[in-house]
Amino acid sequence: MRVAVIGPGAIGAVVTAALERAGHAVVLCGRRPLDRIVVEQPDGGEHVIAATPVLADPAQAPGRLDWILLATKTTQNAAAAAWLRALAGPASVVAVLQNGVEHRENVEPLAGGAAVLPVIVWVGSETVADGRVVQRSGLRLSVPDDEHGSGLAGIFGAVAQVDRVADFTTEAWRKLCLNAVAGILPVVRRRGEVFRDERVAGLTRAYAAECVAVARAAGAQLGEEDAVSIAEGMIAMPPDSGTSILFDRLAGRPMEWDTRNGIIQRTGARHGVPTPVSDVLVPVLAALDTAP
């Protein structure tokens, strides 16, 4: 089995480390030739990635591979398309390890006829310095319960928990609702402590209810109790912690607002579900992202 990972960041490094522990010789592709990447693991151990230096030029690609795991931010897909062109063909599977619910729509046009497998990633990991990634929890992935989902589970073997879920639509929307609600943080440029403010907590509850209403219209089996647990989980987050969309904002990087928040507004419009919170939040996130 020949496997490539595109995007040697927080998720790409964790996934590459896991694949190497499972015995694979991974082709690791980025945009800079990093020559050392260390993953600090939840048990305190360290994995030094063997697949370095990171390949930085698609001309170095070894040809079409069986599996390509795409772990860039959704905002970087267009730039990563050159890697997909070099690595993916009709016999390949491109597993998209990104937040959102549009994995297929966004990546199929770039995938050279390869099958696209949407993957929901449940792990906390962070690049704390160039070439150093901290993995805070075990690697858990959710995939559709189909041939390619089983294929991905087989590649990871025992080194990751790969859940084949019958109702992938619900799983993907549940994660998206969580991610969407976290979009409040970059607007106020504050960490979890901001939820101690009852007005912000109220906004969070209203937004979670809106996200779940849209998710239901899109076919997800989520109910009012899910909206409550999404909102209360966010409100209860540790005061000094944040989420990746806040960290992107603080670092001046593009934010994944369209695939995490714009999608709620767009899907609501398609199904006639009112989205009053999105109608304010999405233009503000977009404006923050394009600020000079």
Residue 173 near residue 215 (C-beta atoms within 8 A): yes
Instruction: Give yes or no for residue 142 binding ligand NAP (CB under 6 A).
Output: no
Answer yes or no: 73 catalytic.
Answer: no
Q: Minimum Å distance from CB 276 to ligand NAP?
A: 25
The binding track of 94-113 with respect to ligand NAP, each residue x by CB under 6 A or -, is ---xxx--------------
Q: Could you tell me if 282 and 257 are in contact, meaning their C-beta atoms sit under 8 angstroms apart? A: yes
Q: What x/- string results for residues 19 through 38 when contact with ligand NAP is judged by CB under 6 A?
A: ----------xxxx------
Catalytic one of 24, 31, 174, 175:
175
Cα–Cα distance measured from residue 291 to residue 142, given in angstroms and rounded to the nearest whole number: 35
276-289 vs 263-271: helix axis angle to the nearest 10? 140
Work out which of 79, 128, 250, 280 binds ligand NAP, going by CB under 6 A. Answer: 79
Stretch that binds ligand NAP, among 5-13, 104-112, 233-241, 281-289 (CB under 6 A): 5-13
The tokens for 173 are 């929307």
Q: What b/e readout covers 33-67, taking b as 16+ CB neighbours within 10 angstroms?
A: ebeebbbbbeeeeebebebbebbeebeebeebbbb
Q: x/- string (CB under 6 A) for ligand NAP, residues 35-74? A: ------------------------------------xxxx
Terminal C-alpha separation, the chain: 46
Q: Residue 7 Cβ, how far from ligand NAP at the closest point, in Å?
A: 3
Region of 176 please: left (phi>0), alpha (psi -120 to 50) or beta.
alpha
**Which of the residues are catalytic?**
175
| Residues found near ligand NAP in the complex (CB under 6 A) | 6-12, 29-32, 71-74, 76, 79-80, 83, 97-99, 121, 123-125, 127, 244, 256
